[in-house]
Amino acid sequence: MTVLSAGFHQIIDLFISRDEFPDLEILANNVRPNEEIGWQCEFRDDTDWGHDKAGPLKEARRLGEYIVFIGDGLSDRAAASAADEVFAKHALAEYCRERGINCHEYQTFNEILKRLKERF
């Protein structure tokens, strides 16, 4: 399992325990203090959101992985297009509907877990 975020690694680390999820890969941007000019954002790449989430999904698919993507925002659009199965809410669900991308709308992660347990 991999967390793909256009947010910052340091914020994600506040909510996800590395002790509880030692093998979890987190791909996110970074923020670093710089004593001369203040806090600096370090983006993963130069795409619009600072992180092309579709890239790792395409690579995983190339390796034969089945891609389940969960998202809800603008930075999730390209990834939704690259996934085998999409769980979406809010703006991402609307985007998927408008473009004919099959998605399961969800409100809570429990709904997603239930659906995946039924299938796998």
Specify the pairing of strand 104-105 against strand 68-71: unpaired
Q: What is the pLDDT of residue 2?
A: 95
Using the CB atoms, write b or e for 3-24: b if 16+ within 10 Å: bbbbbbbeebeeeeeeeeeeee
Q: What is the pLDDT of residue 48?
A: 85
pLDDT tens track for 45-102: 999 888 999 999 999 999 999 999 999 999 999 999 999 999 999 999 999 999 999 9
On whether the CB atoms of residues 86 and 71 are closer than 8 A, the answer is: yes
What is the set of domains in the chain, with CATH numbers? Answer: 1-52 (no CATH), 67-120 (3.40.50.1000)
pLDDT tens track for 10-57: 999 999 998 999 999 999 999 999 999 999 999 999 998 889 999 999
- Tell me how far apart the alpha carbons of residues 114 and 76 are, in angstroms, rounded to a whole number: 22
On whether the CB atoms of residues 105 and 95 are closer than 8 A, the answer is: no
Question: Two tokens at 63?
Answer: 């390796």
Question: Two tokens at 97?
Answer: 């509907």
- Tell me how far apart the alpha carbons of residues 88 and 91 are, in angstroms, rounded to a whole number: 8
Q: What are phi and psi of 48, to 5 degrees?
A: -55, -35
Q: What is the pLDDT of residue 8?
A: 95
